């Protein structure tokens, strides 16, 4: 597993389902470079249990991300047809009907591998037969990407552990505060709080006040 923070987000082109039901063949995050921040997150599998709770949680906060100019994009190793089918199932029946942000189909698993969130790897047994050492699906990876295409924040949870969408919003606010003000964000910073200058005097002044 790799750390992508400070590096360019891996580029890709793949099929995706957008607007809750339209399949497009050549979806890429490159379309947002120079225009939007991107919150790109992976989830393990369609038609499961923790995953719909996360996808609906991001949808419930989608307007808040959009107010900040942030594009939310999801991805798993399922096919675009599987994504489409899950999107037709009502929430009360375990589906994700109503989710509008793009869901990428990483059927080749190359995107998951490039972002370093593959649960398992391919290997060979003593007889030279290829084998998988895990389920070969995505961990719950999350990447905050700035307008230049650089990864500024990443979080990776194991399969049983759902993420906190409010924390993802907090990290967006922190990044945009830094970009707009040039001040860094201390521990437990929230939108509306003071930042600090990245100097000994700035830290001392902040700690004195708090």
Listed in sequence order, the DSSP H helices in 44-162 are 50-60, 62-67, 80-87, 110-114
Q: Which residues contact 193 (CB under 8 A, 6 or more apart)?
A: 185
| CB of 189 closer than 8 Å to CB of 195 | yes
181-204 CB burial, b ≥16 within 10 A, e <16: eebbbeeebeeeeebbeeeeeeee
Catalytic, 51? Answer yes
Q: Which residues contact 90 (CB under 8 A, 6 or more apart)?
A: 97
| CB of 111 closer than 8 Å to CB of 30 | no
| CB of 55 closer than 8 Å to CB of 87 | no
Q: Catalytic pick from 51, 55, 159, 196?
A: 51
Active-site amino acid positions: 51
């Amino acid at each position: 597993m790799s750390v992508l923070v400070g590096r360019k987000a891996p580029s890709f082109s793949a099929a995706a389902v957008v607007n809750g039901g339209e399949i497009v063949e050549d979806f890429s995050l490159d379309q947002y470079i120079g225009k939007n921040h991107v919150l790109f997150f992976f989830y393990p599998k369609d038609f499961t249990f923790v995953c719909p709770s996360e996808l609906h949680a991001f949808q419930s906060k989608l307007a808040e991300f959009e107010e900040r100019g942030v594009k939310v994009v999801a991805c798993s190793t399922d096919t675009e047809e599987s994504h489409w089918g899950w999107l037709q199932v009502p929430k009360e029946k375990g589906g994700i009907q109503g989710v509008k942000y793009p869901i990428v189909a990483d059927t080749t698993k190359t995107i998951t591998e490039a972002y370093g969130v593959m649960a398992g790897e391919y290997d060979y047994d003593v007889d030279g037969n290829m084998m998988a050492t895990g389920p070969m699906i995505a961990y719950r990876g999350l990447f905050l990407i700035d307008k230049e295409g650089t990864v500024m924040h990443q979080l990776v949870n194991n399969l049983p552990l759902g993420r906190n969408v409010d924390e993802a919003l907090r990290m967006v606010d922190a990044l945009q505060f830094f970009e707009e003000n040039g001040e860094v964000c201390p521990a437990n910073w929230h939108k509306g709080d003071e930042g600090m200058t990245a100097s000994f005097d700035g830290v001392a002044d902040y700690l004195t006040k708090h």
